[in-house]
Amino acid sequence: MGALFNLILINPTVNALLIFLFVFHQLRIPGALGFAIIALTSSIRLLFNPLYQNQMKMAKEMELIRPELDKLSKQYKNDKQKLQQAQLKLYQDRGLNPASGCLGAIIQIPIFLALYQVLRMFLLGSSKSVVLKVNELAYLPVIKIAQLDPHFLGFNLSVSPSQYKEFGWHYLLIPLITGALQYFQVIYQQGTPVKTEIKKIDGKTGEQKPEDFQKMMAKQMKIMFPLMIGYFSYILPVGLALYWNVFSLFTIFQAKSKTWKKNKK
């Protein structure tokens, strides 16, 4: 299984990164490895953009029908079979297929895992061992590298921010920036909770917020996930934080662009 994963995903990803490296070297652009990581990450993100858009659309549609799903849960709380039938009918009436969003996420997982492992391959270990290893996987002699310069915009991509005492305090900016971008990414992905009107005991119209458990989980995600990714970006090489940040920026930009389009309308 491991050999097949390497053949189908790891090796092509290594070669894609080597091609971008070759291009930036030919253009004599400083920090070629950093720009190659950005280019490869962006390419993969754009490749899967239709699936991502479908996931976001499905998540939004599911949020819109959440009040109706809650009503069904209360109505058939003692009959799971009827609840499933009622939920299925609701999905069919709305033209929704919740499994399609999950399928898109499942398809993306091995691709992003391969990208992560390739970046670790380039960033962990000595420069000589990395050069030898990636050159063995190169499809074409022209994209093989003689050396690997890990420096990019004043940072060594193979160094972790936890080594700031040795390499400089500015490395501490990396986990702070990464955590902040992850926070905004979570905010934009969660969106605004849907509220539904109900009648209070006194007959006045009020608002019913999403279930307390869901609200609690959403709040925890806003804090815990950015802290977790921020910590990982503190103990892992800067190049991996660059990879995370590119994905975050794509998500944030897409969310903002949708907001701009709505405001124009």
* pLDDT tens-digit map of 77-122: 887 888 888 888 888 888 777 776 666 667 778 888 888 899 888 8
Q: How confident is the model at residue 177 (pLDDT cuts 50, 70, 90)?
A: very high
- Quote the CA–CA distance of 249 and 254 in Å, as a whole number: 8
Dmax over CA atoms of the chain, in Å, equals: 79
**Strand residue runs (E) in the chain:** 151-152, 155-156, 196-199, 205-208
Q: Do the beta carbons of residue 127 and residue 52 sit within 8 Å?
A: no
What are the domain boundaries of the chain?
1-157, 159-265
- Quote the CA–CA distance of 36 and 23 in Å, as a whole number: 9
DSSP character at residue 6: I
* Percent over 90 (pLDDT), the chain: 40
3-state helix, strand, coil in the chain (%, to 5): 75, 5, 20
State the pLDDT at residue 185.
Answer: 86
Q: Do the beta carbons of residue 76 and residue 86 sit within 8 Å?
A: yes
Q: How confident is the model at residue 240 (pLDDT cuts 50, 70, 90)?
A: very high
State the pLDDT at residue 190.
Answer: 63
User: What does the block give as tokens for 107?
Assistant: 């398809």
- Helix (H) or strand (E) run with residue 259 in it: helix 238-264
Question: Is residue 215 over pLDDT 60?
Answer: yes
Q: β-strands 196-199, 155-156: how paired?
A: unpaired
